[in-house]
Structure 1
Amino acid sequence: MTDRRLELLLALLGAAALIAASATTPWLKFVLTLALAKGIAVLGIMLLLRAGQVSFGHAMYVALGAYAVAFLAPALPDAALLLPAAALATTVAGALIGLFVSRYREIFFGMLNLALSMVFYSVLEKFYQLTRGTDGIRVQPLTVAGLALDRGSYEWTIFGIALALALGFGVLARIYLASPMGQALAAIKTRETRLDFMGVSPRSVLLAAYVLSALMAGCAGALIAMSTRHVTPQLAYWTSSGELVFIAILGGAGGVLGPFLGAVTYELVRVYAAATVADMWQMILGTVLLLVILFARGGIWGLISGRLQRRRMA
């Protein structure tokens, strides 16, 4: 079985497991919806990691997608319209900001994204008349394709949309990374000047990946807003960006399944740790990440794929 087919099989098995878990434990549906949304955002960060660039401010696009839903909901109270609207807003923002930040590399790239994210956070916090400051904006009940659903049906629908988007973006990322543009991302990480000699603009390659990552983060933010129905500036804070990077390291950037494995693990560990030892859940998460760094540098996906490869060779 080829690696592509194996990844697809594991993705489908994972999707079935998430559906089964949500059906048997209803409260997990909300947690797993958030995990899928964050996994989509981290999938975009993974594209940048392929180029050796880390964005410490990508939560800005998550927040932008969430606030797009909050602002547009009174006029467009339908999830089927709000999701593409949020995606469009973040794509445009990613293209404009990407034209600037794609000129920089490594720590400068990461810090510029962090600085822009904190500026956006300050705007959301200070312009109270527009954004309601730290109180946030309550998202009104939404319809789905014109249908008014009860709470249970609505939660299942948002979960289904999140799962479909996760599978769709996973396939898109897999195709993109196998394309010439995706292959060029690795060249930015190793020897960028070779791209110039070949007549390929490294800046354009990084910009394309950056815009795609902004689109994914915006969809993630829209899903979070439609699921929690409450958005606050905290979505754009630096700790939220750090959480996405944490998930990327935890899951592993070696494959498209890594971000989702990391996101589901992160959310489940956080929920159960907070329920068990409320004052120490951060320490437990930190310990989990430390163990991954020390004993599984490729993240959870690296650990799984390594075992599968050894089994195939045996």
Structure 2
Amino acid sequence: MPFKDIIGQDRAIGFLKNAIRKDRLAHAYLFTGIDGIGKRTTAINLAMVVNCLLPKDWDSCGECLSCRKIQRGNHPDVQIIEPDGQFIRIEQVRELSRSLYFRPIEGKKKVCIIANGEKMQHTAANALLKTLEEPPSHILIVITAPESKDLLPTMVSRCQNIGFNPLAPAIITKRLCEERGLDRRTAHILSFLAEGSLGRALSMDSQSLLEKREYLINEVCNISFREAGKISTFAEAMGKSTDDLLDTLEILKSLIRDIMVLKNAKEGVCPIIHIDCMDKIRDWCKRFSSARLFEIFTTINEAKKAINRNVNRVLVLETMLLTISRGEVRNYA
């Protein structure tokens, strides 16, 4: 995909194109940002640009033999390194380092894209340092990761860091309508739940999420009146799958966010996500104070962070639900 077709990353693309125009590309780049916003796509196109047979306007043509091979994943001078299981292992990096010292076979540069660089084992990261410190002139390395702090500081210091921004909900809504044929209301909801990630939005099961939302609306309405035994049962049902649970908590958080917006913000300043649930949201506005809503929102957020750290899901949920019912904030650190 040429740079011109990558949406929502004008600053990052502009920076790269300017470096290409001035013939001042770095030997190594670190692309940081959440998943699903174009880091990998941009890295692949950068490999296409530096090896394109018919470049135009500092971009790849996307059609020459070199570009087609890179898009198909069979160009001999372009490698993509990904985790082998949970990690990128030292054996992968050693083999990569050996291959990079050979001259390109077909292209102008050898390009290596290390996807999910945060999953490099410590020994693998150290093995890559020598190549980053003394790079051959014919190589280009691109590492992708959520944040620079996820990598060794010595590795970060040897790369040029380019941050990628979460995409605006309006951009995601438009793409969901065009690519998945969703109605605008559903696309609007998914665009906010995806938290700026187009990749995540495109992979979401809209029907399942809307069903979860309806279930949560009923549960949230009654949560203050639940007995401890019922809260435990609810927590066990919610905690069966980590991926589903994170989606569920994001929906719950977005519902509380809407109530806070409607209760405190001036009309039209902040968009309501669940616009089709206004009656319920207005009802909750009457039932909860601003302070109580903030406590609930904070509690949900802390629970989500704890689950991302692999804390016991059911215990976190039980504590979260009991805390919400008491209106207290729980810190899981």
TM-score normalized with structure 2 length: 0.24
Larger helix proportion of the pair = 1
